[in-house]
Chain A
Amino acid sequence: MVTNMSDEDEEIILSELPDEDLVPQMHDDLYDGLKDEVVEGVNILLERGWTPYRILTEALVGGMKIVGEDFRDGILFVPEVLLAANSMKAGMSILKPLLVETGAPRVGKMVIGTVKGDIHDIGKNLVSMMMEGAGFEVVDLGINNPVENYLEALDTEQPDILGMSALLTTTMPYMKVVIDAMVEKGVRDDYIVLVGGAPLNEEFGRAIGADAYCRDAAVAVETAKTLVGRKHNQMHA
């Protein structure tokens, strides 16, 4: 298979590229949402003996990081991010079973879901994918979750982090219902609570008692890493 470079109009044969050129090319293909090329790149690197974890972090997460930065800077927009995410997802679907077999560092565990009355999951799915890419185990509760779903998942999954998402002004207050229920149950401080969604802001996150508001998937990953690291340090102090 070949990739067409629009600026030079030259055909690139991925399998002929050395590793140091193939990885940046995969970043470009991910950026352009070229799913088939990303999948091909993953398979080539596997054939060359790369570990699944190295492919995930260097080729896929590295590429998605550029996408995230350009989205934040207003260079890329939601449709392009979704196409890139679909490409990464396709690459990850090859790597996931291999990661289980070969082992990969586990940073922590997260339960995540969109709140009751809200069916929007694009942002949540991006966060889930990027968290998995960063080495977190993610339990995704899907959309329209009442407080009971969250509490039950916290109980059974015992994650480090609870993530909640909402896209609507009318549904975002439900996050406070969940946090209040955690307080009432005496388990609020057992978990890191991260919230996100288009109409939210830092002030809202603070007001409802979350640990942090995350404005995008990249921020969610960085915040999760920092807070989980801090929590583990406290536990071992």
Chain B
Amino acid sequence: MQIDDDRLTEHGLDAAAGQGRVLLLACGALAHEILALKRANGWAHMDLTCLPANLHLYPEKIPAAVEAAVEKHRAAYAQIFVVYADCGTGGLLQAKCAELGVGMLEGPHCYSFFEGNATFAAHAEEEFSAFYLTDFLVKQFDAFVWKPMGLDRHPELRDMYFGNYTKLVYLAQTEDPALDARARDCAGRLGLAYERRFTGYGDLAAELARIG
């Protein structure tokens, strides 16, 4: 299935056909990776539906959006698993999932669980001045970084946002030289040094594999 990234950012994905026992209720930024894992592992018991990835621009809206989606789909599935990390909700998403009786991913952000939460946490103290991108965020850099921060209209604001950062780290889920080049370009636009680190799907693969 070919999925348009702009659509994942703005609208999400409604691919819950009601055929599986388990619904993965995910952030649109994770659609490609989850579908790749489903294909690779033959997880036919899982359906996927995604909320718009651009909810991350307003993290305070994520818990209510997740709740509405859980209520919408609950009757059709034996289990719903929320494929979000904390994502800037300050623990409110976790509290909401507990209240709804659904599981969710561990970790603060997608770039943490892609690298592996333990690995990410282990170097957090040395790398707190890094700005992270994933495959999806490289592809949607303008929609998630450049335009919402107003840098398309006011490039003079760049150093107010990024002056304290030292490098951009591209945590790559796939081997893709074109994305590598784009990520390097993103680093240049932000005035940051560039580093690429291949992560694969990290903890996401292990977490989804545990779902029955």
Do A and B interact? Answer: yes
Q: Establish whether residues B128 and A199, one from each chain, have CB atoms under 8 Å apart when the complex forms.
A: no
Interface positions, chain B 57-73, Cβ under 8 Å from A, are 59
Q: Establish whether residues A172 and B157, one from each chain, have CB atoms under 8 Å apart when the complex forms.
A: no
Q: Establish whether residues A80 and B150, one from each chain, have CB atoms under 8 Å apart when the complex forms.
A: yes
Interface positions, chain B 97-144, Cβ under 8 Å from A, are 108-109, 121, 124-125, 128-129
| A234 contacts the other chain (CB 8 A) | no
Q: Establish whether residues A204 and B125, one from each chain, have CB atoms under 8 Å apart when the complex forms.
A: no
| A200 contacts the other chain (CB 8 A) | yes
Cα–Cα, bound, A143→B150 (Å): 23
Question: Known contacts being A77-B150, A79-B149, is A169 close to B164, with CB within 8 Å?
Answer: no
Interface size on A, residues (CB 8 A): 26
Question: Known contacts being A168-B108, A199-B59, is A122 close to B150, with CB within 8 Å?
Answer: no
Interface size on B, residues (CB 8 A): 25
Cα–Cα, bound, A119→B161 (Å): 10
What's the nearest-Cβ distance from chain A to residue B199, in Å? Answer: 18
Residue of A nearest to B154 (CB): A79
| A170 contacts the other chain (CB 8 A) | yes
**Chain A residues near B92 (CB-CB < 8 A):** 201
Cα–Cα, bound, A77→B151 (Å): 13
Residue from the list A33, A118, A200 in contact with B90, Cβ < 8 A: A200
Interface positions, chain B 146-175, Cβ under 8 Å from A, are 148-151, 153-154, 157, 160-161, 164-165
Other 5 A-B pairs with CB < 8 A, given A118-B128, A119-B128, A169-B90: A77-B150, A78-B150, A83-B154, A121-B164, A199-B88
20 cross-chain CB contacts under 8 A: A33-B154, A78-B148, A79-B149, A79-B151, A79-B157, A80-B150, A82-B157, A83-B154, A117-B125, A117-B128, A119-B164, A121-B164, A168-B108, A169-B88, A169-B89, A169-B90, A170-B108, A172-B90, A198-B59, A204-B91
Enumerate chain A interface residues (CB-CB to B < 8 A).
Answer: 33, 77-80, 82-83, 86, 117-122, 143-144, 168-172, 198-201, 204
Enumerate chain B interface residues (CB-CB to A < 8 A).
Answer: 59, 86, 88-92, 108-109, 121, 124-125, 128-129, 148-151, 153-154, 157, 160-161, 164-165
